[in-house]
Amino acid sequence: MKKYGHILFLVCELVLTAFNLVGQAEEPKEVLIIGTMHEVPKIIKNSYKPLLKKAIAYDPQAIFVERPQAEDSRSLEGVYTKFLSQSDSLSSNHPVDETQVNQMLAKPLSSMTKADFSLLKQHFVIRRDYANAEFYAYLAKHGLDGSKKPTRNENGDLTAKLAIKQGIKQIKAMDNQWYRKEYHQAWRACAKASRKDGESENLKKIYKKAWWEERWNGAIGRFGMYTNSAKTTQEYHLINSFRYRKTECEPCNEGAKYWDLRNLEMARNIGRQITEGREVRNVVVVGAGHVVGLKEALEAEFPDIHVKLLSK
């Protein structure tokens, strides 16, 4: 009887394990989009603290940032030429021992030293991985305690501190800069046309109202959350995509097209990596003007990924 009882116990254990594995496999993947202000003035230097607190509470397993992927030469060559020159120079003159790099990356982040951070920074520069070169440069400078003073930008005050808290060793890049030149050409042409036909008055009204709201929310320590409100992200979307106009305008329509294309390609970069990865909870740290378009593109291209915003 003991023998049969033991077999029955093992069978039950196997069934329970199978159910658990099925449950884990079916756990839906999700992404939380956090809109940022990029650089903030000294007077509101602590604006990223509330966003960091929200991000930590979400408990992400992966962090995506507004930087081009290492293999995206088209984006890197269009914007990051200085970084590419540094990468080529290090690759030729100071190659890194890949075995040593792998040994370092096998450690938990909390066990790494400043010497590890410096070498990994060099490794990621050589690999043309701007996001992680930037992350390890921060660690090499400030260590695992992070900067004592606010850096006043999302890379230090949000992304790096969140990664340290979560023990995340590699940041994921997702930006796309393929249409940068065309977008800025359309921007200038749209601005000129809007001044000529008077549509720029709509933009001035948005800016004027936002001026007071930004200062009020900055004064009460809510600038970061204000930036992520549904109203603010929608206004930024209208401004950056030139949809603040009441009438049609060809240069403005052209600019909107390139803005939408950038959001679409960023969404594809994010969605592909989430789909292929094992992480369930993902955070995207991106300029607040992209929040609306990025959400729409992600939901259209990757309906199985649940998209969350701080404003909800």
pLDDT for the residue 311: 84
Q: Identify whether 293 is part of a domain.
A: no
pLDDT at 27: 86
Residue 110 pLDDT more than 50?
Answer: yes
For residue 57, is it within any domain?
yes
What is the percentage of the chain residues whose pLDDT exceeds 70? 91
In a domain, 89, yes or no: yes
Q: What is the mean pLDDT of residues 9-16?
A: 51
Segment 221-240 shows an average pLDDT of 96
Measured CA to CA, the distance from residue 131 to residue 282 in angstroms comes to 16
Q: Classify residue 75: in a domain, yes or no.
A: yes
| Interacting residues of 163 by C-beta distance below 8 A, sequence separation 6+ | 63, 109, 135, 169, 171
Of 32-36, 87-91, 94-98, 290-294, the least confident: 94-98
Going by C-alpha positions, the residue among 309, 186, 307 that lies closest to residue 243 is 186
User: Tokens 């023998």 sit at which residue?
Assistant: 3
Residue 208 located in a structural domain: no
Domain assignment present for residue 3? The answer is: no
pLDDT level of residue 93 (50, 70, 90 thresholds) = confident
Question: Residue 14 has what pLDDT?
Answer: 54
Which helix (H) or strand (E) covers residue 184, if one does? Answer: helix 180-197
Distance between CA 65 and CA 150 in Å, rounded?
19
Instruction: Read off the pLDDT band of 22 (50, 70, 90).
Output: very low
195, part of any domain: no
Per-residue pLDDT tens digits for 239-288: 999 999 999 999 999 999 999 999 999 999 999 999 999 999 999 999 99
| Number of structural domains the chain divides into | 1
Residue 128 belongs to a domain: yes
How big, in percent rounded to 5, are the helix, strand and coil portions of the chain?
65, 10, 25
Whether residue 281 contacts residue 61, with contact meaning beta carbons closer than 8 Å, is answered with yes
Output the pTM of the full model. 0.90
- Domain span holding position 72: 31-177+280-288+305-309
